Structure 1
């Protein structure tokens, strides 16, 4: 840490951009090297730094490990309800802010505290716990094998678009109980929404409409899925509460798990020590995932918390109504708890990747199971995977919350596909009409022109998803 004196505390709400000196958590600097920016902020301000987000909206970014835990574990001082935000109450937040989904209150557990939070979160946690972990791993194994089948004969692939971006949503749509006929379009719409494209709002409407239809169906025809279990939970969630929690679970699980899979695969392919340890039996895949959760957590920053009153945090005077951002990636590299950032942390789960406190990620075990099992299948099927480009040529898409690997080109010896036609779910034919106008972008066919027999036996929606329909 720098020995330069830390500037006197300042309230970000009274430090407009015109004053200069505040770093923005968006733009080229933040996107190109977020960890470098965090270290610069740590050197200038200590464990808590004033920053600007989404234009010139002020906030505090928590960089220290201990300070992150303090904010996450004390909702009495740092509320999760965005209606506490002073800038929002005083009309300084534009209606079309990109922060909209993260700061617009809806009746879900991650926007509430106290008894309401306990009621809603209890329903989500207890419903998620009803899934059989071995059953989840069987689903992941089947889907992962089918994704590998798609690329096995080619000898080359982009593991982001062909694997890490596909697997989590395939599994999660089945766990929440989404209609099979909407499967491929729901995958594409959810990804489109998270990427913030021009059609993101339309995609958002499609995801919401699909889940709304699901809730209506499960009220009369319950099944063994998250939607049904939320509806029948003793907490008596309203239809809107069930819908909103399905949406949160689906989207949050997708983004974090996709990033975890991509980051782990990149590490396996670029770090020789890592690959040698893994293949030599000295490092298990769960150990490897844990290291990645320290070094490259799926979410860099959580928006947000809001101070319920004037308080001191990390030497900074935080005012009531100030926005506070949990810096998970920055906290994981805090020199106070990790003086050597390159040292291995095997067996140490005190990282911040899933946050902490009453709002700690309730689905982290499912996310780990999807990543662990999916990567295991991929490495078992294609043990000679090699990066097809120089590691320095890899590129990321950076946002305020996360850093998403754009592609991971690999090569390997071509192999015949396996017969994985016996899917764990029946996939009915895709109806001729589409319930929403969200386009499903065609995927270029990079493999052989003929369609393997097992693909011909699969249903229409699966063939559409893998680009053969």
Structure 2
């Protein structure tokens, strides 16, 4: 829920108090009630005060730089020789300024991961991740999404109403990911809770991270003995010879990153379908597709608002600011996507334009973005095909978000629809394989064209929605 300021001005905490938006030195905090109430508003304040790169404070009032400019973000992302991913370079770590129980630790403490490596070590680890993710067959992923989406929809189809965030968007990605990682699907609900909590930077983030790590360690131990067609097994078998700890850490990374980003992508795209007038107008005219809607959301509401981080390898300059060796840079994806230098008019549609920052760029660009898009696109497609008369059940201005230092999460999306009977179970759906191996070098390609009959079926919900919008 959005935090409202106290009515009594005497209760407002003074500058320097952790609850206030300003630190003792006047720098703006990226955590606390004020920052979480309106992160995009905070980004624009910082842009107005400092330009493309702004000094900010993270949890514990640790100093960092927030990169707000689109161009400046790309420079930081694409220049590892100047902006390293090795967090051990951070001055705050070297000077013991980061408390062991800091909520920043799950996201910034160095780990044997490709996202914390540069050069040859990054190439070794990232190559194993790319090859292993590339072994998933897109059709196999779609079968899993279809099966779990149908199961979720069957759970509320007869009710005629549902919260699409808690009962659909927050459940589907983790159910699919448990299968891709080689885990029992009953692990999903607890992992959803833990993965989201550690991303928020809460007081319980470390405990949630410990739960995820323990679960992943147990998974790797099982797969070392009994491998299968899944990510954990493929990483263990890769020629890069990753240690068990390296495999565990990368499986954890994929799980957390894929879940949070795909949950937000599904939720925000469904909100757009139900509320955005640009979507309605283009839908009625027959010009927008579901991939177009996803592209627009990735520009307007990237699944992660910011990414930590990059650490300066030496004294340098970025966006007019003097960056010192060991300084931490936080990549502002949401802020960079609305940089006036690249988007002077935020109302102009960007369908098909994928130069957004949502998946980062450069050597550390998200390796699983195609899988995330496949889960979101297929899941939303199935939902709208089965429930084509979805309508928002509350006024749009009553929708609320919860915000943390890295992401903004739609708290709920209550809808109503014509109640329907659950879909009869299909033997093909209940026996679908996790994945079919393909050559390791093959990338995850775009889905093959659907048969003509299936194309017609998939167009039906667009037609139904278009007709309903035209009647309004």
TM-score, with structure 1 as normaliser: 0.84
Q: Which moved more, 1:271-280 or 1:24-33?
A: 271-280
Q: Deviations over 1:179-230 (max 9, x none)?
A: 3554444444434544566665444333222221221222222111001110
Distance in 2 (alpha carbons) for counterparts of 1:260 and 1:238: 33
For residue 236 of structure 1, the aligned residue among 238, 241, 257 is: 241
Residue 316 of structure 1 is matched in structure 2 by 321
Alpha-carbon offset, residue 94 of structure 1: 1.7
Q: Deviations over 1:415-460 (max 9, x none)?
A: 1110136454599xxxxxxxxxxxxxxxxxxxxxxxxxxxxxxxxx
Alpha-carbon offset, residue 41 of structure 1: 1.0
Corresponding position: 1:333 with 2:338: yes
Q: How does 1:21-40 map to 2 (within 5 A)?
A: 22-40=27-45
Q: Which moved more, 1:178-187 or 1:141-150?
A: 178-187
Q: Deviations over 1:251-297 (max 9, x none)?
A: 11000000000011111111133134236531000011000000000
Residue 387 of structure 1 is matched in structure 2 by 392
Secondary structure at the aligned position of 1:169 is classed as helix
Residue 155 of structure 1 is matched in structure 2 by 160
Q: How does 1:249-398 map to 2 (within 5 A)?
A: 249-278=254-283, 280-398=285-403
Contact 1:48 1:61 in 2 (8 A): yes
Distance in 1 (alpha carbons) for counterparts of 2:210 and 2:61: 29
Distance in 2 (alpha carbons) for counterparts of 1:205 and 1:360: 26
Distance in 2 (alpha carbons) for counterparts of 1:104 and 1:213: 22
Corresponding position: 1:420 with 2:425: yes
Distance in 2 (alpha carbons) for counterparts of 1:29 and 1:240: 38
Q: Which moved more, 1:91-100 or 1:315-324?
A: 91-100
Residue 123 of structure 1 is matched in structure 2 by 128
Distance in 2 (alpha carbons) for counterparts of 1:331 and 1:117: 26
Q: How does 1:455-466 map to 2 (within 5 A)?
A: none
TM-score, with structure 2 as normaliser: 0.84
Q: How does 1:122-271 map to 2 (within 5 A)?
A: 122-180=127-185, 182-194=187-199, 200-271=205-276
Change (3 A) 1:51 1:206: closer
Any stretches of 5+ residues in structure 2 without a counterpart? 1-21, 434-472
Any stretches of 5+ residues in structure 1 without a counterpart? 1-15, 428-469
Contact 1:178 1:211 in 2 (8 A): no
Size of the alignment, in residue pairs? 411
